[in-house]
Structure 1
Amino acid sequence: MADSPREGKVARPPDFTQLIDLASEFVGGKVTQALRDNPSFKEHEYTEFGKWMDGWQTRRKRIPGHDWCVVQLGIQGVIRGFDVDTSYFTGDHAPRVSIQAANFEEDKQPEIPQREVRTGAAATPEEFEAISELKSDDWSCLVPMTELTPGNPASSHNYFPVTSQQRWSHIRLNIFPDGGIARLRVYGTGQKDWTAGDPKEPLDLVTVAYGGACVGFSNAHFGHPNNLIGVGTATSMADGWETARRLDRPPILENDENGILLVPGCEWAVFRLAHPGVITQIEIDTKYFKGNSPESCKVDGCILTTQEEEDMVRQKWDLPGHKWKPLLPVTKLKPDEMHVLDSLTPELQDVITHAKFTITPDGGVSRLRLKGFPSSICLLRPREKPMMRFSVKAGFRANL
């Protein structure tokens, strides 16, 4: 476990917390304490079972054993770290925790019985019998039994880095022997079996569900760019990428001869694709952004090795312009609308590993979809031609 901060000091979160929460309800995670919002505290509110707490809290155990729960991840993938958050649980937090994991293939997902919402009640014998089919006692251990800190504001986050490179679909959170936890976050990257599926069907190569990730951005004042590549459609403006208003906007705005705003600046985000490939169609959704969508945008792509990406992160993505290949020219955007656009590579000639999404001058976008074909199974379209295979030199990240 990462060192816990001393009382009164707020430690810098580890880098893995910049990844997506694979267990969040917003990506399909199935357990009530895996929420994306931060926990809250109502100082004077009580229920018939005791103090109102925003999280999972078990009864004071009076029988042998310890308490646990099973979480089905919304996105199957590689786990990089956990955050066991005990916010506001100061006299009743779980004193110790361990975490196990298992992987069930998509077509062999076990049926997990849904617990009834019965606050203050333990699982029934029938529910215990049903969940025993998972044999979760024998799952792999990712975090051994470790003490937790109570939920004081400066020390409520308990971070656990994970080195396993395996793909996981379920986790089991054990608390010893009982107590409360406000939030459980499972940070990692999605991972897809690229040999499965129809090779003629384009895939969203940037989605977090398959392993896409934001690796750099200029501004994220109101929402992180990772939201752009989230699962499903956005639920609100909070579920998109929104920047602050640029302070270099001219006092009076003017258009050029093509109707594009003449402004000096822009905002951008760079994404690593889940798999090197060719982009054939681009979807840009400004849903919910009715008075604050960008005026225009463009998309560029490039091919980088792992080392080159790391260099660019350190250099804050100061990549020479000629390295970028245009995928979408400057295109005007409309508010609260889905835009479906063809890429500039209809013949499937340019394989890329990274994409840069640039908006002008600022604003918010709900979703970005970069649809195309993985480099190993690219097919030409629309003409009927034999399968083309593209090779990518060594040196790329393992999850590509």
Structure 2
Amino acid sequence: MTALVRSWVETANDPDGAFPLNNLPFGVFSNGDAPRCAVAIGDRVLDLAALQSAGLLPDHGFDEPALNTFMAKGKAVWGEVRDALTDLLREGNETGAVRAALHAMDAATMHLPFRVAEYTDFYAGRQHAFNVGSLFRDPANALPPNWLHIPIGYNGRASTVVVSGTAFHRPRGQTKAPDADRPSFGPCRRLDIELEMGAVVGTPSEMGRPVTVDEADDMIFGYVLLNDWSARDIQAWEYQPLGPFQAKAFATTIGAWVVTKAALEPFRRPTPPRERELLPYIRDTGPMLYDIDLAVSIAPEGGPATEICRTNYDTLYYSAPQQLAHHASSGCAMRTGDLLGSGTISGPEKGMFGSLLEMTWGGKEAITLEGGETRTFVEDGDTLGLHGHAQGDGYRIGFGPCTGTLLPARDAGA
């Protein structure tokens, strides 16, 4: 296991901190001025546009309000920039120009780190698929017949992907009670979260050209925490035969920091044993999951946060490169800024389930929060947080917070 790389930014050497020199996640920030690209180091934001202007970094579009220009340049450039930043920030290499480019993280405003070209959400967690299938259908038919052969997914809405800290309104939609003759329209009553990781596509692919799993791995720039908010009552009525639509279209929250594959390299883990042999085009070629500790917390308005789930990214059945290779297998062109949601990450035990639907078993078993309140689904004013890190030797590779607050539903025209 790689050891901590010490930095002259002292807070980056905190063994429990999220952003050591080993990490260097990329994001977009502003400080009362125009948004531009940055990396996180300790409790500071390092302005890459300032380093670019000073000639300390090449022109990779760091003065733009999104990482897309940089991400499109590919693996070799990503590595060169990471090496240059590591050298600039390494213990003993302090300079006035780099120190002048540091900003206090708690004074920075974070923005979406990249322009989301398209958003696809997968269904790659076996335990989650079994749990949801058991609830929506029955345990004997929980997994669809194709599930062990193909990474199932659907095309979501890039327009409603928002950055951590963004509040949004409870969705309205069409639902049908089991004993009702006809559906009704109104606010969702079973608002849920889904603990996911998002893979961010850096280099694009050509329309008509499939990619291998290894090529797909090289195309991925990095990973973010992702909360795929879900309106379960709307979903139950609309999802057959084509799958989720309005139940998933209203909001998806991602973290502000994209953690690169280079930072996660020491934490690679294999996918689980295959229950059915995969077809060659998506067959495993090496360890492409990661040992990332994940957790979910819920805080009612004015109340303390309670951890309600803890699991690990390595419980997924399909890796992001397998999902991406399958996505491109038809000839679908993948674009810089495409976001691939992993699907809900649930471990084998109840305390490891990544959605309230599973934690409360369809709303039948309430969760008690630290302040004494109970929850089956998200209530107005609640703030949900996703948290994640990979644990190294004396350091952590953190993802920063991924939070969202639910506001009351709005009427049309309001």
TM-score with structure 2 setting the length: 0.27
| Greater RCO structure (CA 8 Å; 6+ sep) | 2
Higher strand share: 1
TM-score with structure 1 setting the length: 0.28
Higher helix share: 2
